[in-house]
Structure formats: C-alpha cells, structure tokens
Amino acid sequence: MLTSVIEIVQDVAATVPTRTSGPATLDELYAEFVALDGPLTDELRTRLVALGPAWARGAGDGWVVDAMDGAVQYLQGLPQWCVSVTLVREGLPVLTVLHSPFVGETYAAEAGSGAWRNGQPVRPSAKTSLDAALATTSHPHTRQPDANRVAGHALPYVLDAVAAVRNLGPTSWQIADVAAGRVDLFWQFGLDRENLLGASLIAREAGAVITTATGRPWTPDAPSFLAAAPGLHAAAVTRFCNASIARQGDLAPIR
C-alpha cells in the first residue's frame, strides 16, 4: 500500500500551480486557500479510499489529509509547503507520506517498519550537546492565545541554549527533518493534531524521541509537542521544565 500512497500524493502535488505573489487581504487569502485546498483534498481522499477496504477495520480508522501543509507560504509564492496524508487505525498513525514538490523529496513511514526519505532510511542526529543544536518551532494553524503565551515565555530558554532557532515552514516537514537529522529538535505549544499525528510517526520510526515539552507521553490531545534526537531530548526537556518553574505554575497548557 505504501508505494500506491506515495504515487497518489506525488501525482496530486504535481497538479498544484506555481505562484509568484500573495493575496492582499486575509479574506483573499482564505478564499484562495479554500478554492485550492478543497479540490486537492477531495482528489486525495477519493484516490486513497479507492485503494480498497483493507485499511478500514473500525470506527476510528481513516485518512488524515492535509493537502497543503504550509498553505500560507504557498499563497505567498514561497516553496516551503508539502502534501501530507496519514492512515489512522484506532486513533494511531500507521502510515504516513509527505511530499514536497519544490525539493523533490518524499518522506514516508510505516508503523513497525521504519522511515525513509526518497526510499532511503533516515536516522536522527547523533548530537549530544544542545549548544550545537539547530532547533525549529512553529504554532498551530488556529489561534490559541494560552499556547501562544506559553510559547513566548519558553522561547528564550531555548534560544539561550542552542546554536540557532528557526521556523522552516510546514510543521510536518520540520518534524520529518528531525527524523532525518537535518534538524536536531522541534517543539510546539498548542493543539495541532492534523500536522503532528503523521509526522510523529516518521520521527518515532526513525528513532527520534517524541514527548510533550515537559517529557510526558505525547498524544494528539496533548497541549505541547517535542521531537528530539535521543542525545538531546533530556536536555531539551530540562529547558522547558525550567521555563515552567519560572512561571510559578502559570503554564496550564503544559502537562
């Protein structure tokens, strides 16, 4: 099935037209997004469902489709976007494919089988010191003021410890880059199930450590997310826990 899903995602991504400029207002941005995302999502779902009923075993099964992770960048004429699909069984991701037409790369993972980029296995960074780490972050696509406050407070604790902090575009792709060792850790505050679910499978299958920002087991309902190379995870958690302590308990979104 994985090969078929990769072909579908790549085919649909190839139909997305190139842009060179962005919309002038929020209303224009939203209208252009809906006009593009709707047909792409419908095409992906139709073709994925046509693969057959073998994957549909229960009420919690189905496809999580993000036809354009990084839509704002795409609409601005920037290249940092990708197509993302994830097969979910009993609420857990079991197969994920991400494809970036601009860089010509495809990340894929199957539960229990591994993670790959363009067919080659990927592994996270071997770094063990935060001061050499490239860290990335993002925020959910919906406005979540409590999460934003926590993110703003935590940011200096990471900036003071790592080599650099960046936001490199699509949430899912940044996490996949942690899986491949291009990025050393990624964190985010807030609920963002669609962007995190499939990417977490790629990172976990590659050998990265996935938890909440304070080191607890991550679930799609958790209010924070951390993906890190094994040698960096504990130190990263310590930074976020220190941020939590500094706010004297005023970090309700973290748990």
- pTM for this prediction: 0.91
pLDDT at residue 29, rounded to an integer:
81
pLDDT at residue 247, rounded to an integer:
52
Question: Residue range 242-249: average pLDDT?
Answer: 60
- The rounded percent of the chain whose pLDDT value lies above 90 is 69
Based on the domain organization, do 46 and 138 belong to the same domain?
A: no
Of 71, 95, 121, which closes a domain?
Answer: 121
Provide the pLDDT confidence category of residue 155 given band limits of 50, 70 and 90.
Answer: very high
- 212-243 tens-digit pLDDT: 999 999 999 999 999 999 999 999 999 999 88
Based on the domain organization, do 148 and 88 belong to the same domain?
A: no
Which stretches of the chain are DSSP H helices? 2-13, 26-49, 71-75, 145-159, 171-179, 193-206, 233-246
Domain span including residue 195:
130-246
What CATH number is associated with residue 189?
Answer: 3.40.190.80
- 112-129 tens-digit pLDDT: 999 999 999 999 999 999
What is the count of structural domains for the chain?
2
DSSP category for residue 25: S
What CATH number is associated with residue 58?
Answer: 3.30.540.10
Q: Measuring CA to CA, how many Å separate 145 from each of 70, 71, 181, 190, 197?
A: 21, 21, 31, 9, 22
- 33-69 tens-digit pLDDT: 888 889 999 999 999 988 865 444 445 678 999 998 9
pLDDT at residue 36, rounded to an integer:
86
Based on the domain organization, do 198 and 169 belong to the same domain?
A: yes
**Residues 122, 181: contact at Cβ < 8 Å?**
yes
DSSP category for residue 18: P
Residue 242 within a domain: yes
Phi first, then psi: what are they for 83, rounded to 5°?
-100, 135
**Residues 189, 253: contact at Cβ < 8 Å?**
yes
